[in-house]
Amino acid sequence: MEYFVQQLINGLTLGAIYGLIAIGYTMVYGIIGMINFAHGDIFMVSAFIALIMFVALLSIGLTFVPLALVIVLLVTMAFTAVWGWTLERVAYRPLRESFRLAPLITAIGMSIVLQNFVQIAQGARVKPLQPLITGGFEVMEHDGFVVNLSYMQILIIALTVALMWVFTLIINRTSLGRSQRACEQDRVMAALSGVNVDRTISLTFVMGASLAAVAGVMYLLYYGVIDFYIGFIAGIKAFTAAVLGGIGSLPGAMLGGMIIGLIEVFWSAYFTIEYKDVAAFSMLALVLIFLPSGLLGRPEVEKV
Amino acid sequence: MAQPATSISARLPEALKDAGIAAFISLALFVFIVGIRTLDDPGVLLLEPRPWLLAGAVGSVFIGRLILNLFFWSGTEAEDALTSALAPVGRAFGRISPWLTPALVAFAVLLPFMPFTDRYILDVSIMVMTYIMLGWGLNVVVGLAGLLDLGYVAFYAVGAYSYALIATHFGLSFWVSLPLAGLLAGLWGIILGFPVLRLRGDYLAIVTLAFGEMIRIVLINWYSLTNGPDGISRIPRPTFFGLELTRRGDPSFHEFFGIPYSPLNRIIYLFYIILALALLTNFVTSRLRRLPLGRAWEALREDEIACRSLGINTRNTKLTAFAIGAMFGGFAGSFFATRQGFISPESFTFIESAIILAIVVLGGMGSQIGVVIAAIVMIGGFELFRELEQYRMLMFGLAMVIIMIWRPRGLITSREPSVYLKEKKAVSGDLVQEGKG
């Protein structure tokens, strides 16, 4: 029981990180209907920016962790957003009216470029960061097995919930969100009614990238090590989460992330850790076969 | 741009402003990743600022953007000049294209005996031929049937491991194992194809990607069968009608024919094997295209609903595309295993699938000669940068992006119709639908 609760907490934390990345996939897919393959690598770049910021702040003597965290979060979000914007501008916008596979190929190309760029600029070695947020609560104890809820896990889950709330508000209440939903339904019609489609799509990438940046900071703090390759596998899992939850749906992405996180953690805990990715991917295949529009997605109407 | 081209000096302020903005954005992009390097010091990380590198990167973006603005994106005039300069090339290409294929085949056949050919060129050619074969195999699935497959490397891996296991455990020769490996890969094509029959487009892409990764994870972890990450070594080499191409073979090729022994013989032999396999792939697919099955594939790519209403069995059509594409992938995998003599799961990562798909799409979907050109450009170009070990994957990614933006329809955009009445008319690639899956 205690073991189960502990795994539940770990799974939800991991799921929150996947969910944050998944939102970027789901928003981009919803609005322009393409897999932004390089999104996972944007997440990786953000983790590097955060690492450099943390080390820089610590080296100038800023050791008050909450302040450092806020500064790093804001700076990382801002600079990662520039990466997201540039990605769309350079690799996707020229091909927006082109056929479907073209942006997918540039996306894979950009993913290769980002990985190798960071590898060249920062080296291929794993980069460690000393633990900054330590300690936690003992939730329960039984027969010497202590269930821990660390401050880090509380921070990740709380921040994720808060961001979900903010972004749901943005999508549902603001004019930007309205334009996004309009573009999602019909880009030409939205343009005719005066929505600046280019700007809306750019802002979608900016939003997705800044959420990935939050995930990057959390990943860095939670695991303490990053390298240039973390984006690929996290990206696939997050996309799986987005599809699982129903593409285009924000709560769906979060739900999908949680499910993938839980499957991964429970599978590693009770079965074999080697096959945890196989478990997550099998889940994806099963869901798509039996529920092609995902858990919370709208069923796609086939136009003839 | 519609307005007439103006002189460079008149465009200068605008271009400067634009280049300035680009430089500013690149500053924001590079300030952390390029401007500061993390250094590993036991225990803690240290930062090393690299202001000159950062300035260099930002400066080159500024200058590059300025030059592009002034001389290349300068409105209609330059574009017209470029188009009219390229037009004769296009016409010439159109005129030679009937002879291009036989010429390329003849060149490939004679390549091992060219005076400039050495071991290195042969090795690179074998690699390019392998990718051409994989590209043609994937072309059946993506280019003809329009099913976006991001996990093609799975079948390559199945073929390679099938051959390696059959040959090392049962001692069967390459020529017996090759069809078996192809069959097994084809079977896996059906097994993996079956669950995804109902999926379309990008969903199909992501599930096939997941399957590819799953097969790789199984290969890594099923230690008792595949030897895990250590891989399988001592995979037997192919023989020439039972003659071994080694120095002390029994019986050996060079003694049988009474020629002096040269290690190059084996490489040349491998080259011919892959050439024959690739040509077989091409021959079979171009024949299949004319059969009802091939036409059903192309119809499926254009419109699945219309297909179904015309009574085409879409399930069988899709499964045959998966199976045949996978079978050729399996052949290529067996060849890879016998050529390397050693295989491990590391050779079958997602990046291989991405490269093969990139070759198909960059070449122009469904175009056989396009695959050849794209494979030569991408893999050959990749080899050219051998000295810049670190940078070549970066270059490869950039080339993918730039070629795609330059020619979204691929390098060869016109299509030869599969079936025609009296006269062949080339079809523009724009008329060919994308793979909606």
User: Looking at this protein, which amino acid is placed at residue A104?
Assistant: L
Confidence at residue B335, expressed as pLDDT on a 0 to 100 scale: 93
A191-200 mean pLDDT? 90
Question: Which residue would you say has higher pLDDT here, A292 or A283?
Answer: A283
B363-413: pLDDT as tens digits: 877 788 888 988 998 888 888 777 777 788 888 888 888 888 887 777 776
Confidence at residue A126, expressed as pLDDT on a 0 to 100 scale: 85
Q: Which residues of B67-95 are buried (b: 16+ CB within 10 A; e: fewer)?
A: eebbeeebeeeeeeeeeeeeeeeeeeeee
Contact B314, B196 (CB under 8 A): no
In a domain, A39, yes or no: yes
A239-250: pLDDT as tens digits: 888 888 888 888
The model's confidence at residue A273, banded by pLDDT at 50, 70 and 90, is: confident
Which residues in chain A are contacts of B206 at CB distance < 8 A? 35, 236, 239-240, 243, 284
Which residues in chain B are contacts of A33 at CB distance < 8 A? 202
Task: Indicate the pTM of the whole model.
Answer: 0.86
List the single best residue of B400, B415, B430 to mutate versus A (max A Cβ within 10 A): B400
In a domain, A96, yes or no: yes
Which residues in chain A are contacts of B358 at CB distance < 8 A? 105, 108-109
Quick check: B400 and A109 CB within 8 A? yes
CA nearest to B393 within chain A:
A116
B133-164: pLDDT as tens digits: 999 999 999 888 888 888 899 999 999 999 99
Quick check: A122 and B221 CB within 8 A? no
Nearest to A102 among B28, B404, B433 (CB): B404
Confidence at residue B434, expressed as pLDDT on a 0 to 100 scale: 45
The model's confidence at residue B435, banded by pLDDT at 50, 70 and 90, is: very low
Question: Which residue would you say has higher pLDDT here, B399 or A162?
Answer: A162
Non-local (6+) Cβ contacts of B423 within 8 A are none
Size of interface A-B (CB pairs under 8 A): 177
CA nearest to A92 within chain B:
B405
Non-local (6+) Cβ contacts of A295 within 8 A are A244, A245, A246, A252, A255, A256, A287
Distance from CA of B344 to the nearest CA of A (A): 17
Residue B121 burial (10 A CB sphere; 0-12, 13-18, 19+): middle
In a domain, A28, yes or no: yes
Backbone phi and psi for residue B323, each to the nearest 5 degrees, phi listed first: -65, -45
List the single best residue of B21, B29, B73 to mutate versus A (max A Cβ within 10 A): B29
What is the CATH classification number for the domain harbouring A248?
Answer: 1.10.3470
Confidence at residue B413, expressed as pLDDT on a 0 to 100 scale: 64
Distance from CA of A222 to the nearest CA of B (A): 17
Nearest to A116 among B142, B361, B397 (CB): B397
Backbone phi and psi for residue A225, each to the nearest 5 degrees, phi listed first: -135, 140
What is the C-alpha separation between B66 and B1, in angstroms, rounded? 17
In a domain, A284, yes or no: yes
Confidence at residue B437, expressed as pLDDT on a 0 to 100 scale: 32
Confidence at residue B70, expressed as pLDDT on a 0 to 100 scale: 78
Distance from CA of A188 to the nearest CA of B (A): 20
Mean pLDDT of chain A: 87
Domain count, chain A: 1
Which residues in chain A are contacts of B148 at CB distance < 8 A? 101, 104
Does residue A159 surpass a pLDDT of 70? yes
Confidence at residue B89, expressed as pLDDT on a 0 to 100 scale: 66
Q: Which of A4-8, A89-93, B313-317, B380-384 has the lowest mean pLDDT?
A: B380-384
Confidence at residue B102, expressed as pLDDT on a 0 to 100 scale: 82
In a domain, A299, yes or no: no
Question: Which residue would you say has higher pLDDT here, B432 or B7?
Answer: B7
Confidence at residue A208, expressed as pLDDT on a 0 to 100 scale: 92
B10-32: pLDDT as tens digits: 778 888 888 888 888 888 888 88
Distance from CA of B20 to the nearest CA of A (A): 15
Which residues in chain A are contacts of B394 at CB distance < 8 A? 112-113, 116-117, 120
Residues of the domain holding A25: 2-290
Mean pLDDT of chain B: 82
Quick check: B38 and A274 CB within 8 A? no
Residue A266 burial (10 A CB sphere; 0-12, 13-18, 19+): middle
Contact B168, B226 (CB under 8 A): no
Does residue A205 surpass a pLDDT of 90? yes
In a domain, A298, yes or no: no
List the single best residue of B208, B215, B401 to mutate versus A (max A Cβ within 10 A): B401
> Where do the structural domains in chain B lie, given as residue ranges?
8-79, 98-431
CA nearest to B221 within chain A:
A274
The model's confidence at residue B183, banded by pLDDT at 50, 70 and 90, is: very high
